[in-house]
Chains A and B, each alone.
Chain A
Amino acid sequence: MIAAHLPILQIILPLLAAPICVLIRPQKFVWPFVLIVSWATLGLAAMMLNQVLLSGPISYALGGWEAPWGIEYRVDLLNAFVILLVALIGAVVLTYAPESVKREIDGDRQPYFYAAFLLCLTGLLGICITGDAFNVFVFLEISSLSTYGLISLGRDRRALTAAYNYLILGTIGATFILIGIGLMYMMTGTLNMADLASRLQGVNHTRTIQVAFAFLSVGLTLKLALFPLHIWLPNAYTYAPSVVTAFIAATATKVSVYVFLRFVFTIFGADFAFGTMHIDYLLLPLALAGIFVASAVAIYQSNLKRLLAYSSVAQIGYIMLGISFGTITGLTAGIVHLFNHALMKGALFLAVGSIFLRINSVQLDDLSGLGKRLPVTSFAFVLAGLGLIGVPLTVGFISKWYLLLAAIEAGWWPVAVLVLISSLMALVYIWRFVETAYFRPVPDDAPPVSEAPLLMQIPMWLLIALAIGLGVQTSLTAGIAQRAALWLLAGAP
């Protein structure tokens, strides 16, 4: 039974667990319960990817109504891959969570916090798995609303303003997406993605569909934080509780990138998006601008979390740069970096969470001599940081490699050079941490501290092990990304 209903169980399991969290007494059982649910969700995701690899795309008719009358779940290689990523990060972060959450969130709110976390996970997974355009919007609302709530829980009162700004901008983004979906529905009479793809062929010369495309693109680039629509991101990442930052930095923008890929390539088709609408004219310069501006801003940050937040904006630039080529190699680069960046940024923010737990600050000034005070955590940060720069034998190198290949293949030498230069900028902002941690003395009045507990170390090192292991054994992620890119460009839904 599990095999036949895999797609729905993937969503229902965390969804069912969220209201149960609110009811569990005594409250100390909430976290163990959530932990089991999150790892079971990851298990289901692995089973599903395996099934897709073995026997091709899965379709599941919700309510037993066949598409386009009912809602369809449709899992192919691309979304199975993204679902595995989201479930993995969810399980890892929740394993890491209890100590950090105890420190940063009031005891009374913790069960509700875990419930909101599961809802966010459900929303993100639901966005990825569905084959129905409106259903994407519904789950986008679930993940967005819970994210706003989670961000607002940060200890710093500025978390409230950050969450509020994100609420306003995120709602504008979601509204744009809804307008786009509405206009498509008006012109085709359907909401099913595969059905939309075939029926749009007849009407995609109309101005209504072109406007729909524009609204969807703008709404999605806002949600995925492409420069210059990234302005909600730095504050949200900086002031959110550590575990929330780690989770959303590794998943939320990635899922939005997935939706962008799905709408642009599967629904509208590369011919329309690139041939008629010339979306690459907009994506390429914005992606490059994002890489350079955000990297430059990151260099001058004094708050480690904010530094990494700007770095995220730059890294999203790399993902979108790959996509903007519109070629198989470019898409492969984008998809593989989507996965790799999630691993690296997840590990980095988990390291920052451990630092905050012990030092009670993430200001670079307070981290002098951290290499001596917290040697293990500092080393973890540096290792993950190497990936961000793109040093060989890390996953970051694989991403950059495909990106360079794509640029050269397209004959855009200057872009390849710019990618290399920008890697040096990543080196500079990671170096700022290295310099502070290893080349500055420990302040005399610094109290001795111990490393974060093992339960926080293990998840962090798991992500780092993956970030290095998958950099050595490249065929796994890059292979899947390449096959997914082929699928997308073939236009097969």
Chain B
Amino acid sequence: MSNFISDISLQINLVDIVLLTILIVVAVAVIRVRDLFEAVVLLGIFSLLSACIFTTLDAVDVAFTEAAVGAGISTVLFLATLTLTAREEKAQYSHSWSGFIVCTLTGGALIYGTLDMPHFGDPDAPIHQHVAPRYIVESPEEIGVPNMVTSVLASYRGYDTLGETTVIFTAGLTVLLLLRRDRRSHNRIASPPTAETTDRRGSHVMHHAMVLRVMSKLFIPLILLFALYVQFHGDFGPGGGFQAGVIFAAAFVLYALIYGVEAAQRVAPPARVQVFVALGLLLYIGTGLASLFAGGNFLEYKVLAHEASHGEHIGILFIELGVGITVAAVIINTFFYFAGRGRA
């Protein structure tokens, strides 16, 4: 029996070692390559590897987010930026000793800190002994949601998630502040384009890529459907508002890549998208206020219905929806501003 266990742990270690080694190699490669396009693709690989590592750590929700945000949307935004800047990094061969010393010290301190850490996977480690047992044992009763991660994120620490949603909102707002132009040229981006400009730009984008055009039309409805599944199934399996919002936005980004930004903006007019950026956050705060008015504390969902776990369900449903709406709208909006910048 003990042999069997050590066999298993050896295998797990082997997977970890291989993944971590590739991770380091990729990280070094990102720093070394001069071609920014390569660097962006390598960064995508880095995120995907991280997602794999999170999966082996049984943190599927985190892995899901990392894959969707790190490998997916970030890569697209980086590439959209690259179309506006040069593809090659400017050669700078200065060696900064102070930078080297600071990095070495920081790395040394981190390694020094590992010396007294609890062993990897030790069941007696403080993180498994203090607050976690209640999340594991009580949450199916208290919250009534099978996915414990959702219980913690949406209910026990739901206020942090409100904060994170606000961070996303702030990021979207900052993009607006920075990239918004004065009224005249802004209207040119926002107004529905004429058929002639669409055609010209459409042909510019992917007119001859017939396979892509057909396949994307097949895929986009499926992507949207999958996003809705992730949104509303987050209580039961990995997923939730963040991941769903990213996937939902990915469908629009794909459409914009194949058919041009103007075509995508006719489906989702920027002014309308901006309203949704705010609405998602308002829905989240509104849910919190609703429980305040129902006699509980802020975000205390159990007062939202006659039965505690039913109230939790309702609360989690609404706040996850709020997260999804804001995340999707912020990403779509950000992509529009990045992609529309070079054209106008």
Contacts and interface: CB of A to CB of B under 8 A. Distances in A.
A214 B109 contact: yes
B182 A106 contact: yes
Interface string A136-155: 00110110011011101100
A12 interface: yes
Interface string B107-138: 00110111111100000011111111011000
Contacts, number: 179
Interface in A117-165: 119, 122, 126, 132, 134-135, 138-139, 141-142, 145-146, 148-150, 152-153
A215 interface: yes
A8 B166 contact: no
Interface in B160-218: 160, 163-164, 166-167, 169-171, 173-174, 176-178, 180-183, 186
A208 B178 contact: no
B117 A186 contact: yes
Given A12-B285, A71-B160, A122-B166, A189 B109 contact: no
A5 B157 contact: no
A8 B297 CA distance: 9
A185 B282 CA distance: 31
Given A12-B298, A186-B117, A149 B131 contact: no
Contacts of B158: 62-63
A165 B112 CA distance: 29
Contacts of A8: 292, 297-298
Contacts of A453: none
A183 B113 contact: yes
A287 interface: no
Contacts of A20: 278, 282
A62 B182 contact: no
From DSSP, what is the main secondary structure of chain B's interface residues?
Answer: helix
B296 interface: yes
B156 interface: yes
A29 to B, nearest CB: 15
Nearest to B175: A149
A22 B274 contact: yes
Contact of A212 (B113, B182, B299): B113
B99 to A, nearest CB: 12
B309 interface: no
A199 B297 contact: no
A12 B157 CA distance: 16
B154 to A, nearest CB: 9
B313 interface: no
A149 B174 CA distance: 5
B159 interface: yes
B118 A186 contact: yes
A8 B296 CA distance: 12
B338 interface: no
Interface in A4-24: 5, 8, 12, 15-16, 18-20, 22-23
A149 B173 contact: yes
B257 to A, nearest CB: 27
A116 B159 contact: no
Contacts of B160: 71, 132, 134-135, 138
A190 B131 contact: yes
B166 A142 contact: yes
B127 A186 contact: yes
A64 interface: yes
Contacts of A12: 285, 288-289, 298
Of B116, B163, B183, B288, most buried by chain A (CB within 10 Å of CB) is B163
Contacts of B169: 18-19, 119
A23 B278 contact: yes
B170 A146 contact: yes
B45 to A, nearest CB: 22
Contacts of B163: 126, 135, 138-139, 141-142
B286 to A, nearest CB: 9
A152 B180 CA distance: 13
Contact of B278 (A19, A69, A126, A211): A19
B6 to A, nearest CB: 25
B174 to A, nearest CB: 4
A195 to B, nearest CB: 8
A419 B301 CA distance: 54
B61 interface: no
Nearest to B114: A208
Contacts of B131: 68-69, 189-190
A113 interface: yes
A395 B302 CA distance: 49
Contact of B109 (A115, A126, A206, A211): A211
Contacts of B282: 16, 19-20
B127 A64 contact: no
Contact of B176 (A1, A23, A112, A135): A112
A208 B110 CA distance: 9
B115 A115 contact: no
Contacts of A185: 127
Of B125, B173, B278, most buried by chain A (CB within 10 Å of CB) is B173
B146 to A, nearest CB: 19
Among all A-B residue pairs, the 10 with the closest Cβ atoms: A189-B130, A211-B113, A64-B300, A138-B163, A149-B174, A189-B126, A19-B278, A206-B116, A62-B159, A63-B299
10 contacts: A5-B298, A19-B285, A62-B159, A62-B297, A141-B163, A190-B126, A190-B131, A199-B126, A207-B112, A215-B109
Interface of B: 109-110, 112-118, 125-132, 134-135, 155-160, 163-164, 166-167, 169-171, 173-174, 176-178, 180-183, 186, 274-275, 277-279, 281-282, 285, 288-289, 292, 296-303
Given A1-B292, A189-B126, 16 more contacts: A8-B297, A12-B285, A19-B281, A22-B173, A63-B297, A63-B301, A64-B300, A64-B303, A71-B159, A135-B163, A138-B164, A141-B167, A145-B174, A199-B126, A207-B115, A210-B113
